[in-house]
Amino acid sequence: MGVEIPNKGKIELNGLYGFDKKAVDKLSGKSLKQAHESGILQVIHLVLSSSLHLQKLINWAAGGKS
């Protein structure tokens, strides 16, 4: 995954995984139930929540505020 840091260029983050929030938001019915029962829905929630912290780190590295 590449991340653009303002005034510093692009850096690569290897081994970082993510989920497409729009695709997750579209889950319903049987798919949503399956995701919940398998435990992956909780993992998705945690990964999406942690992405907020990643954005704060990017802003900090660029010299901005979090």
pLDDT at 19: 84
Residue 24 lies in a domain: yes
Q: What is the mean pLDDT of residues 34-50?
A: 92
If one counts the domains in the chain, the total is 1
**CB within 8 Å of 18: residues ≥ 6 apart:** 1, 47, 48, 51
Residue 37 lies in a domain: yes
Q: CA–CA separation, 40 vs 43, rounded Å?
A: 5
Residue 5 lies in a domain: no
Q: Give the pLDDT confidence of 48-64 residue by residue, as tens digits.
A: 888 778 778 877 877 76
Residue 2 lies in a domain: no
| Full domain range(s) for residue 66 | 19-66
Q: CA–CA separation, 37 vs 24, rounded Å?
A: 15
What are the distances in angstroms from CA 2 to CA 10, 36, 40, 65?
6, 30, 25, 21
pLDDT at 44: 92
% of residues, the chain, pLDDT over 90: 35
